[in-house]
Amino acid sequence: MKRIIVPIDFSLYSENAFYSAAKVASKGDATITCINVIQSDLDWNNLSTSEKIKNQEILDLEAEAKDKLKAFVATHKIKNTPVEAVVEIGVPSQVLVDLAFKQKADLIVIGAYGKNREPGKFIGSTTQKVFRNAPCPVLAVKNIVDGRAMKKLVFASLFNEASKPAFVRLKPFIKNVRTVVHFLFINTPEKFIDTGKAEARMAEYAYGQEELLIHRHIYNHEEVEKGIIAFAEKEKAGIIAIASNLRKSNTAYQIGVTDTLLYKTDIPILSVKFE
């Protein structure tokens, strides 16, 4: 892994995301890009200088953000890990996705909530949009990732061949942190399949991944999300990984499952979109 992006809004959640990214980066030689986004619907980068001057409030916010982010980076130095600071103006989720494309990011680490989070509310809208549009895996956290627990990753899937490319995009992360992968098939009454078929699916899915240490599990539960969380907690897993489909399909979990998992558990969620 070479590039990790971390959005910083100076909330506790974004600080936890930064420290989590630092733990991932310390396993290899990645550079961390910290980015703060000034919220605006203006097409700022395509405005002329004279047009920008008319928006003095945004210019003031940009100057303040640059000072705050510079100070953040200065007080959050990481040994042997380069950290860059970037301030942009625009719609936060779109700016993050664009930067991920531009920098060819290997991972985005993002807080589950933003600085304006209200207790009891669902996960942040920016996080949801980044889940759906990022070109790379997204690790969403509430707390700082536990470095030891990170050695055990649960990958929950329906294990259809069409979703396998999504899992392959997780491999750089898996190899970087040297984690053991636990394939997890949740068998529910609504979509029950027999054990033999489930085991065959996972065995076929694991074919060609011999460089990874993979264990395979079938877990029965009435609900997918609750089953994934119950298994991960039982195994003391540090990360739950999931490949999500933006469209309704029988080949992968829908993106709403990812959202619900992040809302209902404190275990970090590693998401990669299904393509």
27 torsion bin: left (phi>0), alpha (psi -120 to 50), beta (else): alpha
Listed residue (146, 179, 107) closest to 16, CA to CA: 146
pLDDT recorded at residue 52: 86
Q: Could you give phi then psi for residue 55, rounded to 5 degrees?
A: -110, 65
pTM above threshold 0.75:
yes
Q: Which two tokens stand for residue 247?
A: 């469209």
Tell me the C-alpha distance between 268 and 155, whole Å. 12
pLDDT recorded at residue 47: 80
Instruction: Tell whether the model's pLDDT for residue 252 goes beyond 80.
Output: no
Cα-Cα-Cα-Cα torsion 234, 137, 256, 195, nearest 10 degrees, comes to -50
Instruction: Tell whether the model's pLDDT for residue 5 goes beyond 90.
Output: yes
List pLDDT tens digits, range 148-170: 889 999 999 999 888 899 999 99
Domains in the chain, start-ordered, CATH in brackets? Answer: 3-141 (3.40.50.620), 149-273 (3.40.50.620)
Q: What is the mean pLDDT of residues 85-113?
A: 96
Q: Which two tokens stand for residue 226?
A: 């609750």
Instruction: Tell whether the model's pLDDT for residue 251 goes beyond 60.
Output: no
Q: What is the mean pLDDT of residues 26-39?
A: 94
Instruction: Tell whether the model's pLDDT for residue 203 goes beyond 90.
Output: yes
pLDDT recorded at residue 147: 86
- Percent pLDDT > 70 in the chain is 93
> What 8-state DSSP symbol labels residue 124?
-
Instruction: Tell whether the model's pLDDT for residue 121 goes beyond 70.
Output: no
User: Buried b vs exposed e over 45-74: b needs ≥16 C-beta within 10 Å?
Assistant: eeeeeeebeebeebeebbeebeeebeebbe
Q: What is the mean pLDDT of residues 231-243?
A: 96
